Chains A and B, each alone.
Chain A
Amino acid sequence: MDKTNLRDERLLADFFAAHQQAIPDNGFTERVMKEVSACGRIVHMRRLSLRLNILGAVGVIALFLYLGVFTETLESINGVFNHVTTFSTNFDPDSLLVMAMLFVHRLPDYLPSPTQFLALALTTIILMTLVIRRVVDGADHGYIP
């Protein structure tokens, strides 16, 4: 360390020693602990709410299974697919695939998050595959001229 630096160090040490400042608590700790307690209560309420939500979701699924709502829903979806198949006899599977790819390609412009985009892309591909399969099945069975 050269002379100038040493002089600077000494000057700063004297300056900070002269400006040393003790900060009394003055109720600061109590204020912090009040906030911490409130924070703890919020965390507890959140955990409780999460547990209740999970319990509720399990209950709803059990009720659905018991009442056979899932089977009904699947049958409805099946009906919708059948309907789509009869209406889409004019499309060939290739154009449906191109449409799906275009849809997936343009979608990111309108969606906020990559996860949502991925979920929608997957759903679209699954739906389009199902439709194509139906169309192909229909052709095999001679429903489509």
Chain B
Amino acid sequence: MQRLSDIALIAQVVTLGSERAFEQLVRAHQEAVRRFLRRLTAGDEMRADDLSQETFIRAWQHLSDFRQLSGFETWLLRIAYRVFLDDERSLARTPLSLEGENLALLENRAAAPQQPREGVGLRHDLDLALSTLSEAERACVVLQCVEGQSIREIAIIMAMPENTVKSHLLRGKKNLANYLRNNGYNG
């Protein structure tokens, strides 16, 4: 169900170019987009936030294309998934060079003592478990189990038929459950 406030805010952005209305949309939906991208990037918070930022900028540029065939959040997650896939492709094309900035960054990371943070262990478990799944299975499972999207909405987000989504979900959940059982979680 499309939220009424979302529709009103989108109308303001499209007709008046209101940045304030868009800011409210970002504030309302940042959590879902960032959480989804964090799970897809195996917990890499910096990369996930960069991709989230790119997602909202693309949304701003193409908001007039939003036809309300799905909810605004579903539309945003669809953009987020495409941004993630584009980034994955560009990462696959660019080999990591250990020169200059990259080398300095790695040295700094190695030298800095690791500060224990609240919830890091739990998140690590979650990302470790999800990393056993394929990219498509991971996205389907996260969208259903974490974001609460329906199969129809997942099909829209991932631009694939509903039956394909169902089989990804079935395989993904089975593999994830097996992994959890093998690692001491009781079912």
Contact = CB atoms under 8 A, between A and B. Distances in A.
Interface of A: 7-16, 18-19, 21-23, 25, 28-29, 31-33, 35-37, 39-40
Contacts of B82: none
* Chain B interface bracket (under 10, 10 to 19, 20 to 34, 35 or more): 35 or more
Nearest to A36: B60
B26 A32 contact: yes
A33 B187 contact: no
Nearest to B52: A28
Main secondary structure of the interface of A (DSSP, over half): helix
26 contacts: A11-B177, A11-B187, A12-B141, A12-B173, A12-B176, A12-B177, A14-B187, A15-B126, A15-B180, A15-B185, A16-B145, A18-B122, A21-B122, A21-B123, A23-B35, A23-B38, A25-B30, A28-B30, A28-B34, A28-B53, A31-B53, A32-B57, A33-B22, A33-B26, A36-B57, A37-B19
Main secondary structure of the interface of B (DSSP, over half): helix
A35 B53 CA distance: 8
A11 B57 contact: no
A13 to B, nearest CB: 7
